[in-house]
Chain A
């Protein structure tokens, strides 16, 4: 069977990379900040997408990228000036192309004519002259015939003649790569003479349809460089024998290929492009002349990265985690007498510790990806939102190279999208309002990422009107989120926007006023072990800050003892810890045991009772950890002892246990004991379940409780 899916997936992943590179360059165009290399990079990105689409027969993408590429080609050779119109058309084309690729990826079919306007816009911008005939392809046309496909390439000042020996391996067709489409791509570059070798064709009975038995000897006369010729085959590297020879300058460009005898390869003209063999990586980088350094650059970067399944990396991360645990266990057994008697052993162990730490950092770095992959999606969102709202908005991104765990990155898209929607819809004012306020008509969003210690900080700042605190407070009272006489600081009022279902807009808009956006931000970030902060200044704008852990595989935790067992509380949840006595608490019928804590009541959760441990001393309540739950509520968690702060390797329990309510995972401590990581938000659910089942987790009595019930009566 042909493994199409795997190669389709690879193509789409590469499309993501290309689109990301393309959009980055288009943004440079927009900022009038582009250089020739940037234009070349944009061209290469679109060319790569076209090449891949050709291999898979994605006709609409092929046709569209053909026009897009033609325009960028004319921009790079100076025939089309990089004007505002060209940039705007290219940005619109980028959006359309992204949708076309998404449609192919998801198996949906865009409406007929979806890309027609954008493509016509590209075509209209092309310079049509004698040397640059450019086909205006229809929306669903495929460049099928030689007549159609051979004319798109403009004549250059000098034409080169390339001889290409191309023989697909057994794998090529199995992997969904189609030689005819590659040949057609070559035809687009210039005049192509095709000689096919049929000698390997077996009988009909012996023929396996998924094996290619043909080989080709091709001669191409083109103004394109060798790298462009080679790029056509970049998706079939490893699936063919390929040799490309530059047979020199063609003296008579319009007269077709030179005589046969001149095409023999020789040491001086042999291509820098390696044959598509598995051992390519072992070859030295080519040292021959290159076109604008492009080949050198390609050779230098071609083998610097490989794609590895995430599952394999996760297995490695887990194994390194095990090594860290084993090492901690060894170290715990090194007591003073042993250290004195075996100093060499201790020194070696310490060295081992350093190496293990480095190994862990290196492995974690493999999972890390630049936030660029999600930042790059945001300019389009801003453009669309600006268009929908009639506002003028500019997005400036920085720190895109900041790296963060892939799992975290995947879960950042929704929160960032909501933040940007919210900023454009509620933060940035209409142009006339901004002008009247003495601001530029165009609002600015600044999206940045940076690493601070073991955390990644992502900020979105707008220069809009800032939060309307009176409106937020009024709405919070109306919704019963706060009491009418509640005394809240500015920060506390600002934080109300993260409460579930909160929305301050009078008319719910279709952009962000559904009252779910900022709640989703808060919830998602907290689930990632992060925190959300907001700062706002009326008339000057707001800044939302996301503080995220570098990785989900290792967590900073506080180890606490409850009864005989150690538990781990995520450090990011802990506000502070208090020493307290039971007489400091009050029993309220609806809430259970509470503690007055800075003008508010903290609900106290006693894990002795919830988890069925033997109750501790009646009066000495011990320590209370003040914890902030996912939705921002402060609760108190009774513990017996704070063992210490520790970085722990998170182990998933779901593979072996179900229904682990209140438990987010486990970790193996240095002494080999398992400590469970508490899901503090789940405690309320567990307690509520106990209450509803009639199993009173607060014990249903005690002096304090009795007094409270009397008072209530």
Chain B
């Protein structure tokens, strides 16, 4: 978790790394909860993600709802193909999410 700015606004940037599998789920949960508690916009950098578990998808869904409920902006930045494919394979459509896509997939 790092501090960053987007459009001159301070944001919390969460780098998802390459693996969002079951083994990292507890860590991700802690990271998301901590970021939620900061009460400011959060950017999720999913550009390097190669592997996504159902557990991670649930956490990101819950984070998305929590941020929307708190009136904070959540941005998904440069999601990788693997990241998007996992959501699609899980049956989650873009309309199910409140987060903002900053750009298209980084790798295609």
Seen from chain A, the residues whose Cβ lies within 8 Å of a Cβ on chain B are: 2, 57, 142, 144-146, 173, 176, 178-180, 183-184, 187, 194-196, 198, 201-205, 207, 209-210, 212-214, 216
For the complex, what is the distance from the CA of A187 to the CA of B81, rounded to whole Å?
17
A187: min CB distance to chain B, Å: 7
Other than the known A144-B81, A203-B62, what 6 A-B pairs have Cβ atoms closer than 8 Å? A180-B53, A180-B86, A204-B29, A204-B59, A207-B58, A214-B58
| Distance of A144 Cα from B63 Cα, bound (Å) | 24
For the complex, would chain A's binding face be called helix, strand, loop or mixed by DSSP majority? Answer: loop
**Chain B contacts for A213, CB-based, 8 A:** 58
Nearest CB in chain A: distance from B72 CB, A: 12
Expressed in whole angstroms, the minimum distance between the Cβ of B89 and any Cβ of chain A is 5
- Known A-B contacts A180-B52, A205-B33, A207-B29; A146 and B88 likewise in contact (beta carbons under 8 Å): yes
**Which of the residues A57, A176, A194, A210 comes within 8 Å of B90, measured between beta carbons?**
A194
Distance, CA A201 to CA B90, complexed state (A)? 14
Closest beta carbon of chain B to A370's beta carbon, Å:
36
Interface string of B17-56 (1 = CB under 8 A from A): 0000110011011001100100000000000000111110
- Quote the shortest CB–CB distance from A665 to chain B (angstroms): 44
Q: How far is the CB of A219 from chain B (nearest CB, A)?
A: 11
Tell me the complex Cα distance, A57–B33, Å. Answer: 27
Cα of A195 to Cα of B89 in the assembled complex, Å: 10
Give the nearest-CB partner of B60 in chain A.
A204
Could you list 17 examples of A-B contacts with CB < 8 Å?
A142-B51, A176-B22, A178-B22, A180-B53, A183-B91, A196-B91, A196-B92, A203-B62, A204-B36, A204-B65, A207-B29, A207-B62, A209-B28, A212-B55, A212-B58, A213-B58, A214-B90
Residues facing A in B50-87 (CB within 8 A) are 51-55, 57-59, 61-63, 65-66, 81-82, 85-86
Asked if B3 lies at the interface with its beta carbon under 8 angstroms from chain A, I say no
User: Which chain A residue lies CB-closest to B108?
Assistant: A145
Interchain CB contact under 8 A, B89 and A173? no
Cα A145 to Cα B88 in complex, Å, equals 8
Please, which residues of chain A bring their CB within 8 A of the CB of B52?
180
With A203-B65, A203-B66 as given contacts, are A178 and B54 in contact (CB-CB < 8 Å)? Answer: yes
- In the complex with contacts A146-B89, A194-B91, A195-B91, A201-B61 CB distance below 8 A: yes
Which chain A residue shows the least CB distance to B82? Answer: A144
How long is the Cα–Cα vector from A146 to B89 in the complex, in angstroms?
Answer: 7
Of residues B51, B62, B65, B88, which shows the largest number of chain A Cβ atoms within 10 Å of its Cβ? Answer: B62
The one of A194, A204, A210 in contact with B89, judged by C-beta atoms closer than 8 angstroms, is A194
CB–CB A145/B81 < 8 A: yes
Residues of A contacting B86 in the complex (Cβ-Cβ under 8 angstroms): 144, 180
10 smallest CB-CB distances across A and B, nearest first, come from A196-B91, A194-B91, A209-B25, A204-B62, A145-B85, A204-B66, A209-B55, A179-B54, A144-B85, A209-B29
Most buried by A among B59, B88, B89: B89
Q: How many residues of B contact A (CB 8 A)?
A: 32
8 Å CB contact of A173 from B22, B36, B62, B63: B22
Report whether B22 and A210 are in contact in the complex, using a CB–CB cutoff of 8 Å. Answer: yes
A216 vs B57: C-alpha distance in the bound complex, in angstroms?
14
What's the least CB distance linking B62 to chain A, in Å? 4
Q: Which of A176, A201, A210 contacts B62 (CB 8 A)?
A: A201
In the complex, what residues of A have CB within 8 A of residue B88's CB?
A: 145-146
A183 to B54: give the CA distance in the assembly, Å.
11
Considering the chains assembled together, what is the distance between the CA atoms of A207 and B65 in angstroms?
12
Q: Give B32's nearest chain A residue, CB to CB.
A: A204
B54 pairs with A210, CB closer than 8 A: no
A146 touches B58 (CB 8 A): no
B28: A residues at CB distance < 8 A: 209
B82 CB to closest chain A CB, in angstroms?
A: 5
In the bound assembly, the distance between CA atoms of A214 and B54 in angstroms comes to: 9
In whole angstroms, what is the CA distance A183 to B52 when docked?
Answer: 13
Chain B residue nearest to A209 in the complex (CB)? B25
| Shortest Cβ gap from B97 to chain A (Å) | 11
Q: Give every chain B residue within 8 A of A209 (Cβ-Cβ).
A: 22, 25-26, 28-29, 55, 58-59
CA distance A451 to B55 in the complex (A): 52
Interface residue ranges, B against A (CB under 8 Å): 21-22, 25-26, 28-29, 32-33, 36, 51-55, 57-59, 61-63, 65-66, 81-82, 85-86, 88-92, 96
For B61, list chain A residues within 8 Å (CB): 198, 201
Contact B65 A180, beta carbon cutoff 8 Å = no
- Closest B residue to A174 by beta carbon equals B22
Chain B's nearest CB lies how many Å from the CB of A232?
A: 14
CB proximity of B6 to chain A, nearest CB, Å = 22
Q: How far is the CA of A145 from the CA of B54 in the complex (A)?
A: 15
Report the bound CA distance from A202 to B29 in whole Å.
13
What residues of chain B lie closer than 8 Å to A176, measured between beta carbons?
22
Contact B59 A57 (CB under 8 A): no
Min C-beta distance of A171 to chain B, whole Å: 13
Q: Across the interface, which residues of A come within 8 angstroms of B51, CB to CB? A: 57, 142
What residue in chain A is nearest B86 (Cβ atoms)? A180
Q: How far is the CA of A198 from the CA of B53 in the complex (A)?
A: 16
Give B79 Cβ to nearest chain A Cβ, in Å: 13
Tell me if A210 and B55 are in contact (CB < 8 A): yes
Q: Please tell me if the beta carbons of B55 and A173 are within 8 angstroms of each other in the complex.
A: yes
In the bound complex, CA of A173 to CA of B66 (Å): 23
Task: List residues of chain A with CB within 8 A of the CB of B57.
Answer: 180, 214
Which chain A residue shows the least CB distance to B88?
A146
Give the complex CA separation of A192 and B30 in angstroms.
34
Q: Please, which residues of chain B bring their CB within 8 A of the CB of A205?
A: 33
Chain B residues with CB below 8 A from A194, complex form: 89-91
Determine the distance from Cα of A212 to Cα of B25 in the docked complex, in whole angstroms. 12
Q: Is the CB of B90 within 8 A of A180?
A: yes
Residues of A within 8 A of B36 (CB): 204
What separation, in Å, do the CA atoms of A178 and B63 have in the docked complex? Answer: 21
Kindly list chain B residues whose C-beta atoms are within 8 Å of the C-beta of A142.
Answer: 51
Which single residue of chain B is at the shortest CB-CB distance from A187? B89
Please indicate which of the listed interface residues B81, B82, B91 has the most CB atoms of chain A within 10 Å of its own CB. Answer: B91
Alpha-carbon separation in the docked complex, A216 to B22 (Å): 20
Whole-angstrom CA separation of A43 from B32 in the bound complex: 44
Q: Is the CB of B25 within 8 A of A210?
A: yes
CA–CA, A615 and B3, complex, Å: 90
Contact check, A146 vs B85: say whether CB atoms are below 8 A apart. Answer: yes
Interface centre among A57, A180, A205 (most CB of B within 10 A): A180
A212 near B54 with CB under 8 A, answer yes
* Inter-chain contacts of A187 with B (CB < 8 A): 89
A173 in contact with B33 (CB, 8 Å): no
Q: Within 8 Å CB of A198, what residues of B?
A: 61, 92, 96
Q: A207-B59, A209-B26 are in contact. Are A178 and B53 (CB under 8 A)?
A: yes
Residues in B neighbouring A203, C-beta threshold 8 A: 62, 65-66
Contact at A2–B22, with CB atoms within 8 Å? yes
Q: Check A173–B91 contact: CB distance below 8 A.
A: no
A195 to B51 alpha-carbon distance, docked (Å): 22
**Inside 8 A of A184's CB, which chain B residues have their CB?**
89
Nearest CB of chain A from residue B80's CB, rounded to whole Å: 10
Q: How far is the CA of A201 from the CA of B52 in the complex (A)?
A: 18
Tell me which residues across on chain A come within 8 A of B54, comparing CB atoms: 173, 178-180, 212, 214
Report chain A residues within 8 Å CB of B25.
209-210
> From residue A162, how far is it (CB to closest CB) to chain B in Å?
16
Chain B residue at smallest Cβ distance from A218: B91
Q: How far is the CB of A655 from chain B (nearest CB, A)?
A: 37
For B22, list chain A residues within 8 Å (CB): 2, 173, 176, 178, 209-210
